[in-house]
Structure 1
Amino acid sequence: MQKITAVLLSLPLAWITSVLAENHWSYKGDTAPEHWGNLNAQWFFCNQGQYQSPIDIRDPVTGNLPPLNLYLSSPAGSITHNGHTIHITVEEGNSVALDRQHWQLKQFHFHAPSENYINGQRFPLEVHFVHANSKDEGMVVAVMLVAGQANPALEMVLNALPQRQHHSAALPPNVSFASLFPQDKHYYRFSGSLTTPPCTEGIIWLVMKQPVEASQMQLSRITQALRNANSRPLQPLHGRQITE
C-alpha cells in the first residue's frame, strides 16, 4: 500500500486542512463531489483514481478474515464541527491489531446518511475511525448505525458538541468508544481511498458487518447537527476484490 506523505496524506491533518479551506469543497453546487478533482490539482485522485471510496459492498470473496482486535484504553480528546463533519480527535493509546502490526486511532467522524452500502442497503449514519501505522499508511474502520436502543457514547458526543461551527470542546474523560463498535467484530475488507479531498488512495477499509444501534432521536440530532448530508456518491469498483 502506498505511503502517506506528510504534506498531503497525513490522516490526522486531513480534517484540519478542511477547516482551513472550508470553502474549497463541499457536498453541493459548484464545489460538490463531481467537481472536487477540478478544484485543486493535488486532488486529481478524486476524478482520476481507480480505487476510490465509498462503494456498494457486494459479492465478497471468502478470505476467513479473523475478528478485529480493538485496544481502547485512552479517552477522547476534543470535538468540533469543522464545516464538513463532526470530528473527534483521540488521545494516543487506542489501536487496532491488523496485519501483525498496531494501527493507532487518530480521529473519528460521522457521515449521514452512510457513504458505503452493504448489498445495496444504505444506513442512517456511518462512523469512520481513522487509523495510521508507523509508516503513515492509512486504515479506516467503518461502522454503520441503525435505529434502536440509545447509544451511550453517541449521547456523550452529542452533549459535548459546541453549538457553533469551528469551535472545539473537550469530551468528558469517561467517554468509552466501546458502544460505537458492534459485539461481532467480523468485517469486509477492501482497498479504497479517503472519501474527501484529496481522495488519497491506498487506504485499507474495514467495514464492520454488524451495525450498531442508536436511538432515532440520537440519529435525528446528529443529522440536524451536520445540517447537510455529507456523503460522497458511490464509486466504481474497477475490478477490486472485497474479502470477508
Structure 2
Amino acid sequence: MGACAAPPTQQPAPAAEGAAVEWGYEGEIGPENWSTLSGNFATCGLGTEQSPIDLSEPAPSDEFGPLELNYAATPITVLNNGHTIELEYEPGSTLTFNGQTYELVQFHFHNPSEHTLTGEASPLEAHLVHRDNNGNLAVIGVFLMLGEANPFLAQFWDALPAAAGETEVEGEINVRDLLPEDLSYHTYTGSLTTPPCSEGVRWLVLRDTVTISQEQVDAFTAIYSGNARPVQPLNDRDLLTNADDVSLR
C-alpha cells in the first residue's frame, strides 16, 4: 500500500492496478509526471480536488462537530512499503466524524510535511488513514515539529526497516498517544497524496502539533527524505476549521 493510498479492498481498485507502475518523488517518475506514468494515474494531473494544500486562512465553521476517536492498542508491525514507513492497524479502532464512522486502517509518515501553513512545512507529517463501510476515506493529519523526543515514536523508531519489508516489534501501541490532547482541526475534501490520487477523501488536519527530536527526524530521513507531494491548488473548495485560534501551536 502506498503512502496515503487507498487501503486494500476485496475487489480490484485503481491503486492495486497501478501498484506495479514505478513512481517516486524525483525526476521522470516524480510528482509532476505521475499523471503520465499510467492511465490509472490521470487524476494526478486532471483532478481539481487534489491534496495536499496550504492551510492558510481556513474559514471558521460549526458545520461539523468534534472528532470522536475510539482507538485500541495494536501489535507493532513496522512496514517499509517502498515509499514510506507505515504501521498497519488491527480492525476495531474507529473515528466518527459528522455522524459517519470510519475504521483506522494504517498510519504513515512524510518528510517534510505535505500540508503547509502559509507556505511553511514541518519536518514530518503523520497520516492516519480511515475507511468506512462504503470505502470512503477520512485521513487525520498531524504535524510533527522539532522539539523533545516523541515518546510514542520511541516505541518503534529504532526498528524502522531500511529496505522494503516488515519488522515486528514486541508490545503494542495506541496511536491516540501520538495525537495532541486538543483535536481541533482544519477540514476539506481532497485526494490521496500518492498515485492514483483518487479524490473524495475527507481530510482532517489537526491544529495542534506534537514534537519530534532532530535525532528522530534523522532516523526517518536516512530512509526516506523528501517523500512529500507539493501542495496543490485549492480551487473552489471550502477550507473550514472548528478551531477558535487557527495558528499552529
Residues 74 and 92 of structure 1, relative CA distance in 2, 3 Å threshold: farther
Match of 1:167 in 2: 165
Name the SS for the 1:221 alignment partner.
Answer: helix
Given that 1:8 and 1:198 are in contact with CA atoms closer than 8 Å, whether structure 2 keeps it comes out as no
Match of 2:133 in 1: 134
Match of 1:55 in 2: 53
Residues 117 and 77 of structure 1, relative CA distance in 2, 3 Å threshold: same
Deviation of the 1:195 alpha carbon: 0.4
RMSD: 2.1
Match of 2:102 in 1: 103
Query: Which residue type is aligned with residue 142 of structure 1?
Result: G
Match of 1:223 among 214, 221, 224: 221
Distance in 1, Cα, partners of 2:235 & 2:161: 41
Given that 2:80 and 2:165 are in contact with CA atoms closer than 8 Å, whether structure 1 keeps it comes out as yes
Identical columns (%): 37
Given that 2:76 and 2:172 are in contact with CA atoms closer than 8 Å, whether structure 1 keeps it comes out as no
Match of 2:247 in 1: none
Distance in 2, Cα, partners of 1:67 & 1:212: 19
Name the SS for the 2:66 alignment partner.
Answer: coil
Query: Which residue type is aligned with residue 71 of structure 1?
Result: N
Name the SS for the 1:70 alignment partner.
Answer: strand
Where structure 2 has 5 or more consecutive residues not aligned to the other structure, the ranges are 1-6, 242-249
Count of matched residue positions in the alignment of Structure 1 and Structure 2: 233
Query: Which residue type is aligned with residue 197 of structure 2?
Result: C
Given that 1:125 and 1:144 are in contact with CA atoms closer than 8 Å, whether structure 2 keeps it comes out as yes
Match of 2:155 in 1: 156
Residues 76 and 46 of structure 1, relative CA distance in 2, 3 Å threshold: farther
Q: How do 1:85-124 residues align onto structure 2 when only pairs under 5 Å count? A: 85-124=84-123
What are the superposed Cα offsets for residues 158-194 of structure 1, whole Å, 9 maximum, x if unpaired? Answer: 123224x222122333223133101110000000000
Deviation of the 1:79 alpha carbon: 1.3
Distance in 1, Cα, partners of 2:35 & 2:49: 14
Match of 2:22 in 1: 24
Match of 2:240 in 1: 243
Deviation of the 1:76 alpha carbon: 4.0
Query: Which residue type is aligned with residue 135 of structure 1?
Result: N
Name the SS for the 1:171 alignment partner.
Answer: strand
Bigger drift between 212-221 and 104-113 goes to: 212-221
Deviation of the 1:17 alpha carbon: 7.2
Given that 1:151 and 1:179 are in contact with CA atoms closer than 8 Å, whether structure 2 keeps it comes out as no
Distance in 1, Cα, partners of 2:141 & 2:165: 25
Match of 1:8 among 2, 5, 13: 13
* Larger helix proportion of the pair: 1
Q: How do 1:200-211 residues align onto structure 2 when only pairs under 5 Å count? A: 200-211=198-209
Deviation of the 1:73 alpha carbon: 0.9
Name the SS for the 1:162 alignment partner.
Answer: coil
Given that 1:51 and 1:240 are in contact with CA atoms closer than 8 Å, whether structure 2 keeps it comes out as yes
Residues 179 and 140 of structure 1, relative CA distance in 2, 3 Å threshold: same
Deviation of the 1:52 alpha carbon: 0.2
Where structure 1 has 5 or more consecutive residues not aligned to the other structure, the ranges are none
Deviation of the 1:156 alpha carbon: 1.8
Match of 1:191 among 174, 177, 189: 189
Deviation of the 1:120 alpha carbon: 2.5
Name the SS for the 2:59 alignment partner.
Answer: coil
Bigger drift between 48-57 and 76-85 goes to: 76-85
- TM-score normalised by L of structure 1: 0.89
- The reply on whether 1:41 has 2:39 as its aligned counterpart is yes
Match of 1:234 in 2: 231
Query: Which residue type is aligned with residue 8 of structure 1?
Result: A
Query: Which residue type is aligned with residue 133 of structure 1?
Result: D
Match of 2:177 among 179, 188, 194: 179
